[in-house]
């Protein structure tokens, strides 16, 4: 059995007391999100009503899920914690490192050839530390989680932004960086700013061509890509309960595209049906016993304006199919409205070259069956595909069942490519072109979540539009962006005019789900003798060695770079081709800060080495200082380290000998990541002191031996002409974070405490 019913029963046995305590302390009825958050407090004895959008709170998540790209560094770090097993049930899913090209069998073989060392490492490290392992081809992390692990009222974190998909089964599930996942695996609390709450009331009922995807495409149009930032979106109302569980998953999945912390739905019959269909009747039975705690208090939904920070209402009976894009998921065009004019005005290619169905967003049995009903009509009505069609099933269980039920056969008759049960084109793992940078301008339609430039195929000229699977299928048949299947006729092979009927499908397979080998490998009971497989000559993986404490004597440090303007984690640790080195700290450190603009000369990756007077790239210069035993300082502007939460952006400078990052202000997650790696993350007490920093400066910390919570630090800046400035630096380290600094990293401290 892949899931842990005892853990779920334990959560349910405590939920009533914890929810009652939260109701008492807040003095009001509770939303579902609040019930889940308050019942997962790290310190259950906390008697405090938290302020939304303000208080940082420690939580105790029930589960962790990691995908193969992010799991590498997370697990390499976990190995440093000195634990024999993960503290919280954890799974690893191999789905990102499989390129779509020829079709499932050939592509999977190719991925196993290219990335076997990564897969073998993940399999062995999972086995050793009690982590469930899902092999390449087993499925996409979020579909596999929904089918196997998600449970109503649970809290989960995952090292992928679309972890939020599990909200479809009533969880609070949140995407995090690897460093956060490592903390929880090692038995520490997980900190989150208590989110704001957005309520979305769904009235009416979906029908005809309108799908759950259109609900979230509409929400994206209303809230835009930033509108959900720092908030949990809670869906409710008759429209919510009338939708399938996997449809709810689609809606929650794309909550990431509006910046939401996560999204969720209250427990209902669709979830119960899904749990039973996926062989989890015991979870459904257990949930039924506490179901009043797995949804909001009735007063909340009766009077939402009073309890949510913002309320949106959508009438599903009036909602029509939408096509969002290109280049951003919140740019909506209602099918049958203005696409022809918009495409002309903006020079979007009206002809569609590919339709892609699948990804973690829309690859359920229901999605495939509804899309296949359109494909079947194309066959029956003598229509030829105008665009190519590609399918990525969400899991082996979905693929096997859909194959058994003839669904995949229908797509194959239309010459569709059935790709591996993996991310594929959704994450740019699509060998569509030999030279994507110079590929022609074109349009594609897909049922994925993200449609930024280059996301699917690396071609900046591909205009990607997002739609439901059924609309994607219809547009792929018609080959035009402005095709409206509700009104437009197509000409078939016999020259006759034909129209599509409405799509039909099954919420769940009528004959039940079936699978031969779901691709799951359970860890051994005692992993102490399991050897973790990392070749010492590997380019892609490298075992970590504990960071040596920087110490209280930072004297004679040199300026590595004074970053000018925006410096996100992408500028600090670029993605793209560097992703292949995510498990090799030394190799990926060759991208350290290469995207940051140097304030002196305004160039990227061009800084002065004060020891030689020569100019060079940031990583090379840092390595030269490190080799000479000279610590370095990075100076930055406002909101330094915003963007993705990747821990590489803190680990790389630490690895290359940077002792302190001093900025006008930090993005909080990056600041915490620096602290976790045992570095100094400091801010100028006086912002304008940033201007004092010169290219040839040397730095001395004069009172680091008195480093204490709430006490400023003093920095002496010695300029090239011998003149000096003394500036005060603020910090947000608490006592235990100061211990991280003193021990060299948070993991060093955990290891010491375990010894």
Q: Per CB under 6 A, which of residues 150..189 are in contact with ligand F3S? A: 160, 162
Which of 466, 642, 647, 658 lies closest to 558, judged by CA?
658
Q: State in Å, rounded, how far the first CA of the chain is from the last one.
A: 33
Q: Segment near ligand F3S (CB under 6 A), from 139-147, 223-231, 531-539, 686-694?
A: 139-147
Site mask for ligand F3S (CB under 6 A), range 383-422, x = bound: ----------------------------------------
197 near ligand F3S, rule: CB under 6 A:
no
Catalytic residue among 18, 432, 450, 623: 450
- Work out which of 141, 245, 389, 674 binds ligand F3S, going by CB under 6 A: 141
Interatomic CA distance for residues 106 and 91, integer angstroms: 26
Mark whether 160 is an active-site residue.
Answer: yes
The CA angle 75-80-84, to the nearest 5 degrees, is: 80
The length of the chain, given as a count of residues: 755
Strand partners, 343: none
Indicate the residue among 90 and 672 with the shorter CB distance to ligand F3S.
90
Q: 57, 73, 125, 140: which one contacts ligand F3S (CB under 6 A)?
A: 140
540 binds ligand F3S (CB under 6 A): no
Give the DSSP letter string of 421-443: SS-GGGGT-B---SSGGGPPPEE
Helix, strand and coil percent figures for the chain, each rounded to 5: 40, 20, 40
Q: Among residues 139 and 199, whose Cβ is nearest to ligand F3S?
A: 139
CB 395 within 8 A of CB 139: yes
Which one, 41 or 423, has the nearer CB to ligand F3S? 423
Structural tokens at position 731 = 């910090």
Dmax (CA) for the chain in angstroms is 88
Q: How far is the CB of 39 from ligand F3S (least distance, A)?
A: 27
Structure tokens at 619: 């990583």
Give whichever of 142 and 201 is closer to ligand F3S, judged by the CB atom. 142
From 142, 218, 370, 623, residue interacting with ligand F3S (rule: CB under 6 A): 142
Q: Which of 243, 426, 456, 481 binds ligand F3S (CB under 6 A)?
A: 426
Q: Which is nearest to 141 in space by CA: 520, 493, 488?
A: 520
Q: Which one of 115, 359, 573, 644 is the catalytic residue? A: 644
**Is 192 an interacting residue with respect to ligand F3S (CB under 6 A)?**
no
Q: Do residues 24 and 48 lie in contact, with contact meaning Cβ atoms separated by under 8 Å?
A: no
Would you say 156 and 173 are in contact if contact means Cβ atoms under 8 Å apart? yes
Closest distance between ligand F3S and the C-beta of residue 690, in Å? 37
Task: By CB under 6 A, name the one of 359, 605, 645, 737 that touches ligand F3S.
Answer: 359
Catalytic residue among 62, 68, 107, 160: 160
126 is catalytic: no
Residue 96 is among the residues annotated as catalytic for this protein? yes
- Considering only residues 79, 284, 360, 649, which one is a binding residue for ligand F3S as defined by CB under 6 A? 360
Residue 19 binding ligand F3S, by CB under 6 A: no
Q: Quote the least distance from Cβ 45 to ligand F3S, whole Å.
A: 37
**Which one of 146, 423, 561, 588 is in contact with ligand F3S (CB under 6 A)?**
423
Minimal distance in Å, beta carbon 9 to ligand F3S?
29
Catalytic residue among 62, 68, 95, 689: 95
> Smallest distance, Å, CB 395 to ligand F3S?
12
How wide is the angle at C-alpha 343 spanned by C-alphas 341 and 349, nearest 5°?
145
Q: Computed from CA positions of residues 192, 197, 203, 206, in that sequence, does the dihedral angle turn out positive or negative? A: negative
Nearest distance from C-beta of residue 37 to ligand F3S, angstroms: 24
CB of 702 to ligand F3S, least distance (A): 48
Burial zone of 220 (CB within 10 Å; 0-12 exposed, 13-18 middle, 19+ buried): buried
**646 a catalytic residue:** yes
Smallest separation, CB 418 to ligand F3S (Å): 16
Number of residues that bind ligand F3S (CB under 6 A): 12
231/427 with CB nearer ligand F3S: 427
For the four alpha carbons of 104, 109, 110 and 115, in that order, the dihedral sign comes to positive
Verify whether residue 580 is a known catalytic residue. Answer: no
719 is catalytic: no
**Cα distance between residue 76 and residue 666, in whole Å:** 26
Between CA 365 and CA 372, with CA 370 as vertex, the angle to 5 degrees is: 95
Tell me which of 96, 162, 480, 654 is the catalytic residue. Answer: 96
Please give the Cα distance from 267 to 115 (Å, whole number): 40
Locate 653 and state its tokens.
């400078």
The closest of 562, 556, 661, 1 to 280, measured between CA atoms, is 1
Q: What angle, 0 to 180 degrees and rounded to 10, lies between the N-to-C axes of helices 212-223 and 245-253?
A: 30
CB atoms within 10 A of CB 347: 9
Residue 324 contacts residue 481 (beta carbons within 8 Å): no
**Closer CB to ligand F3S, 141 or 550, in the complex:** 141
Residue 464 touches ligand F3S, criterion: CB under 6 A: no
Q: How far is the CB of 30 from ligand F3S (least distance, A)?
A: 31
CA nearest neighbour of 458 among 415, 419, 424, 481 = 424
**Alpha-carbon dihedral sign for residues 333, 338, 343, 345:** negative
Nearer of residues 423 and 727 to ligand F3S, judged by Cβ: 423
CB atoms inside a 10 Å sphere around CB 21: 17
Q: Which range binds ligand F3S by CB under 6 A, 135-143, 208-216, 380-388, 559-567?
A: 135-143
Q: Which is nearer to ligand F3S, 147 or 160 (CB)?
A: 160
Q: Which helix (H) or strand (E) holds 625?
A: helix 618-627
Of the pair 362, 373, the CB lying nearest ligand F3S is at 362
Does 147 help bind ligand F3S (rule: CB under 6 A)?
A: no
Number of H helices, E strands in the chain: 25, 30
Write down the catalytic residue from 142, 399, 571, 646: 646
Per-residue binder mask for ligand F3S (CB under 6 A), 92-111, x = binder:
---x----------------
Q: Which is nearer to ligand F3S, 36 or 140 (CB)?
A: 140
| Active site amino acids | 95-96, 160, 450, 644, 646
Given the rule CB under 6 A, which residues bind ligand F3S?
A: 95, 140-142, 160, 162, 359-360, 423, 426-427, 449
């Amino acid at each position: 059995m892949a899931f842990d019913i005892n853990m779920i029963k334990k959560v349910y046995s405590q939920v009533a007391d914890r929810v009652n305590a939260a109701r008492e302390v807040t003095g009001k009825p509770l939303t579902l999100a609040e019930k889940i958050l308050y019942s997962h407090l790290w310190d259950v004895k906390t008697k405090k009503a938290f302020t939304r959008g303000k208080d940082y709170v420690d939580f105790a998540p029930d589960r962790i899920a990691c995908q193969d790209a992010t799991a590498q560094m997370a697990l390499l770090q976990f190995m440093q914690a000195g634990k024999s097993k993960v503290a919280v049930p954890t799974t690893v899913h191999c789905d990102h490192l499989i390129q779509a090209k020829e079709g499932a069998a050939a592509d999977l073989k190719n991925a196993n050839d290219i990335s076997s060392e990564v897969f073998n490492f993940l399999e062995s490290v999972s086995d050793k530390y009690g982590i469930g392992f899902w092999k390449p081809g087993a499925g996409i992390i979020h579909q596999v989680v929904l089918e196997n692990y998600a449970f109503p009222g649970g809290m989960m974190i995952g090292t992928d932004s679309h972890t939020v998909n599990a909200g479809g089964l009533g969880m609070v599930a949140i995407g995090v960086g690897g460093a956060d996942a490592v903390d929880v695996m090692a038995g520490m609390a997980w900190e989150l700013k208590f989110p704001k709450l957005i309520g979305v009331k769904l009235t009416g009922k979906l029908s005809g061509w309108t799908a759950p995807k259109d609900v979230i495409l509409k929400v994206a149009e209303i809230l835009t890509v930033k509108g959900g930032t720092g908030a949990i979106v809670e869906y409710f109302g008759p429209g919510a309960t009338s939708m399938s569980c996997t449809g709810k998953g689609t809606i929650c999945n794309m909550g990431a595209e509006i910046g939401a912390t996560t999204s969720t739905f209250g427990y209902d019959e669709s979830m119960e049906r899904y749990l039973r269909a996926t062989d989890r009747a015991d979870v459904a039975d257990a949930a039924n016993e506490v179901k009043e705690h797995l949804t909001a208090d009735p007063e909340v939904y009766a009077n939402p304006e009073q309890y949510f920070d913002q309320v949106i209402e959508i009438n599903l009976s009036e909602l029509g199919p939408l096509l969002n894009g290109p280049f951003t998921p919140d740019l909506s065009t209602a099918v049958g409205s203005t696409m022809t004019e918009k495409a002309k005005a903006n020079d979007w290619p009206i002809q569609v070259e590919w339709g892609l169905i699948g990804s973690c967003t829309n690859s359920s049995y229901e999605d495939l069956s509804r899309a296949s009903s359109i494909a079947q009509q194309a066959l029956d009505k003598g229509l030829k595909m105008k665009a190519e069609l590609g399918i990525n099933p969400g899991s082996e269980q979905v693929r096997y069942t859909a194959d058994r039920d003839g669904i995949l056969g229908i797509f194959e008759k239309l010459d569709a490519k059935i790709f591996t049960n993996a991310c594929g084109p959704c994450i740019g793992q699509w060998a569509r072109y030999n030279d994507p940078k110079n590929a022609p301008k074109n349009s594609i339609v897909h049922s994925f979540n993200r449609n930024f430039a280059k996301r699917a195929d690396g071609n900046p000229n591909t205009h990607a539009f997002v739609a439901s699977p059924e609309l994607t299928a219809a547009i792929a048949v018609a080959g035009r962006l402005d095709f409206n299947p509700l009104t437009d006729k197509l000409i078939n092979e016999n020259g006759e005019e034909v129209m599509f009927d409405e799509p039909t499908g099954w919420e769940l397979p009528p004959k039940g789900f079936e699978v031969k080998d779901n691709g799951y490998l359970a860890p051994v009971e005692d992993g102490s003798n399991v050897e973790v497989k990392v070749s010492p000559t590997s380019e892609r993986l490298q075992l970590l060695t504990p960071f040596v404490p920087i110490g209280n004597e930072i004297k004679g440090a040199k300026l590595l770079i004074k970053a000018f303007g925006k410096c996100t984690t992408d500028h600090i640790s670029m993605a793209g081709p560097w992703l292949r080195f995510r498990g090799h700290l030394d190799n990926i450190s060759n991208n350290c800060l290469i995207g940051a603009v140097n304030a002196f000369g305004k160039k990227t990756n061009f800084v002065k080495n004060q020891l030689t007077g020569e100019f060079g790239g940031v990583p090379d210069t840092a390595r030269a200082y490190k080799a000479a035993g000279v610590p370095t300082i990075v100076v930055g502007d406002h909101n330094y380290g915003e963007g993705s939460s990747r821990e590489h952006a803190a680990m790389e400078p630490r690895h290359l000998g940077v002792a302190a990052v001093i900025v006008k202000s930090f993005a909080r997650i990056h600041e915490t990541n620096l602290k976790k790696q045992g570095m100094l993350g400091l801010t100028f007490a006086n912002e304008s002191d940033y201007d004092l920093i010169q290219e040839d400066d040397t730095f001395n910390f004069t009172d680091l031996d008195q480093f204490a919570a709430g006490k400023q630090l003093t920095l002496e800046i010695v300029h090239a002409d011998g003149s000096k400035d003394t500036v005060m630096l603020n910090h947000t380290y608490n006592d235990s974070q100061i211990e991280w600094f003193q021990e060299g990293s948070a993991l060093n401290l955990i290891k010491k405490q375990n010894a």
